[in-house]
Structure 1
Amino acid sequence: MVFLAKAGLGLKVLGTPSEETWPGVHSLPHFKPDRFTVYSPKKLRQAWNKLGYVDHAEELASRFLQCFPKNRLSAQAALHHEYFSHLPPRLWELPDMSSIFTVPTVKLQPESGDSIQVCSKTNSHGKATSNSKH
């Protein structure tokens, strides 16, 4: 809560906590409602539009980003969220600490608009050159 109050952006997106959204918030020792601007909650994609590009991403993120701790989605429950339903079944069989990149169908893809480093050419000395694409 202290972090959100200092960051400001969290409150602007998630909304200012109230007894309706966070039962018991007024009894927290450092909660000073008179110091907060009252904000209404917004859709997460209004702050982070890329959440709208991936199916179920905004819904999953909103389940994690809850001011009231008891409303937050646990990591264990998140694994069953529809966001992860399209992952290759082999990922669920990987031993702990194994790389997901050992699964042949898993590849790293850049997001649109992000810059990419492409190493595809070699110069006269046999060294790879990189071209930056945006």
Structure 2
Amino acid sequence: MKVHSDTATQFRRFWGTGSIAGIKLPDFNDNYVFTSKKTEISDSEYKKKIISQAQQDFAAGRFQNESQRFNQLMKQFVSEVSPDRQGIITAGFKEVKARKINVRRSIDVLILLLEGKLDNWRTLIEH
């Protein structure tokens, strides 16, 4: 049995290409950035799709996140009940822009929360 360990997923950057007020927005199309998106698919239809995909992946020797289609199904399923992170984050950044707030340290905290690490942690200590 093959055990899959994808440490690259843990240390990836989730930033997209857009920005507001110089603050990079997350990539809401990324498989691991969940935001509210409703579909007309029922739970029983999801179950059928997930089982079918699992059978295809097993036959191909892939396990969960090794399969792009699995990742898409997972994101679609979870996004049905996720909060509207895209709306919340975008509105927050627009408010920062409107108030012209200096957000250097706040964004460092946001990076820490989303990515689990800081590249410039020494600058936080020095200031």
TM-score category by the smaller chain?
under 0.3
Which structure exhibits the higher relative contact order, with contacts defined as CA atoms closer than 8 Å and separated by 6 or more residues? 2
Q: TM-score, normalised by structure 2?
A: 0.26
